[in-house]
Structure 1
């Protein structure tokens, strides 16, 4: 069986539509449809059923997807074993990470790796944790940096391994002219009458903020819904609103902003995730070694 066709079927089982698979594999939807049709002709049985705009696997299709999963894992394992034989680290390692951890860690790690291993290329893509896990499962990235707020413990595919990276604490950020500035800590209940500017890029973050405010006995007065850190921090600088943002953000682009700890604390754990068996790849191993070095995390 053609590996490309098996990969297309596996992607379809995950992403549910031809268009989504086409986007992931960088081909046209018609090419994906043709791959599936050829595979069905080859095995002589229907593998998918169309449901509205999407598709579902038949029993035969699901069985073949499970086989394809093992085949693709063996191919990746073979690549890792061959890579182990090389004396010079080269090739490419693909990394996906969400914005706050990416801004704090990735540039330094990439700079050091390229400096030490000039034949190695690090390809970075900014993705939210759920998106990066999907990319990991579909071989679109080699390592994903995720957190336990977006991906709860136990929610990962058993074929994915994780390594604990660090723990991050959320902080309250206000304008330097705000009444809370110069204070080292603030109780969440004191934020009841504040206006909030929030980064809506992550639904989990928005839900976390709402839950924290509810636990403190109030509903947040959200006056600015931003789609990224840049606008959110601009609103805070001008005193239009306050926000609660990851501690990893506390050393980046915070001129004219006061950062104080919040009580009770809100924490998250951050992990590296990668497919089982691929840690033997020298390129992936040196990335893991470098990003887990204490000087990098400090």
Structure 2
């Protein structure tokens, strides 16, 4: 069986698909242009396919359909190798890179830390905070081991194992001084004239909020957008505007009024534990997952 091309050839090929310029790819890798040319010839010979067309009249390099198709597979190979490299570097580490989105880290995670402390697991956690949208990508790239992730639908990703933990409603929160504070519930369609304070694109709140706006075909009057939930709630307390927020982030002891939404087919704030399916679980990771699952079931 003919020996397969080396990893450098795959990297050269992918960059050439991206830039369509031999000189630029050669400069990026600090090699000669003939090195890139020979690598592409080896790959074309291996697959018996023409991957690039050189248009001499326009001095352009065109990628063939076969080239684009192969690049789809090459990207997956390179991503898997990069993930493997990260995992191998820390395979003997007792630290677990654990993702916690801001709202989950602030309002859900503290309730399960006593159990983690009893099991001696807290000292093994190295937490990383970012929005749930970015968290899933970090898991796929191998930059994290496990994560608690918020989503609007159960996570169905062929590379990810996800276990649904909790299901929370979204609420409208207002200041006690706001006219809506006298109500217990409201329909989103009746909020067309309100001023909104919203969370930014990194939060799934933003997606759910846009779904409601599209459903009722109105452009919201957004007076402020933030990545800080505490800032959002402080502005609502000052009656600057109203906000759309999961109920878990609004404890009963805060000086805010939460209104239930009466709209049918509402999105929900779901919390799931997620990790890569091909991630080899050590004893610490397995104990952590078991403890998190048990605590979720007990709440």
Band the TM-score falls in, shorter-chain normalisation: 0.5 to 0.7
- Conserved 8 A contact 1:93-1:121: yes
* CA displacement, residues 59-91 of structure 1 (integer Å, 9 cap, x when unaligned): 8877666556666788899999x98xxxxxx81
Report the TM-score, using the length of structure 2 for normalisation. 0.67
- Going from structure 1 to structure 2, the CA distance change for 1:45 and 1:62 (only over 3 Å counts) comes to farther
Paired with 1:145 and 1:60, the residues of 2 have a C-alpha distance of 34
Q: Tell me which residue corresponds to 2:135.
A: 132
- Going from structure 1 to structure 2, the CA distance change for 1:295 and 1:96 (only over 3 Å counts) comes to closer
- Conserved 8 A contact 1:77-1:277: no
Structure 1 residue 161: Cα displacement? 1.5
- Conserved 8 A contact 1:45-1:60: no
Q: Tell me which residue corresponds to 1:30.
A: none
Structure 1 residue 206: Cα displacement? 2.9
Paired with 2:295 and 2:166, the residues of 1 have a C-alpha distance of 10
* CA displacement, residues 261-283 of structure 1 (integer Å, 9 cap, x when unaligned): 11114313332221114364222
- Going from structure 1 to structure 2, the CA distance change for 1:66 and 1:115 (only over 3 Å counts) comes to same
- Counterpart check, 1:45 vs 2:44: no
Paired with 1:58 and 1:216, the residues of 2 have a C-alpha distance of 40
Paired with 1:70 and 1:235, the residues of 2 have a C-alpha distance of 44
- Counterpart check, 1:272 vs 2:261: no
Q: Could you list the runs of 5+ residues in structure 1 that have no partner in the other structure?
A: 18-32, 52-56, 84-89
- Going from structure 1 to structure 2, the CA distance change for 1:113 and 1:214 (only over 3 Å counts) comes to same
- Conserved 8 A contact 2:134-2:202: no
Higher Rg of the two aligned structures: 2
Paired with 1:70 and 1:213, the residues of 2 have a C-alpha distance of 39
Q: Tell me which residue corresponds to 1:286.
A: 287
Structure 1 residue 241: Cα displacement? 0.5
Paired with 2:171 and 2:224, the residues of 1 have a C-alpha distance of 18
Q: Tell me which residue corresponds to 1:23.
A: none
Paired with 1:295 and 1:206, the residues of 2 have a C-alpha distance of 26
Q: Superposed, which structure 2 residues align to 1:158-169 within 5 Å?
A: 158-169=158-169
Q: Superposed, which structure 2 residues align to 1:119-268 within 5 Å?
A: 120-149=123-152, 153-154=155-156, 156=157, 158-202=158-202, 204-216=204-216, 218-251=218-251, 255-264=254-263, 265-268=266-269
Structure 1 residue 217: Cα displacement? 5.4
- Conserved 8 A contact 2:178-2:239: yes
- Conserved 8 A contact 1:291-1:297: no
- Conserved 8 A contact 2:84-2:142: no
Paired with 1:119 and 1:237, the residues of 2 have a C-alpha distance of 34
Which secondary structure state, in structure 1, belongs to the residue aligned with residue 171 of structure 2? Answer: strand
- Conserved 8 A contact 2:197-2:241: yes
Paired with 2:74 and 2:218, the residues of 1 have a C-alpha distance of 51
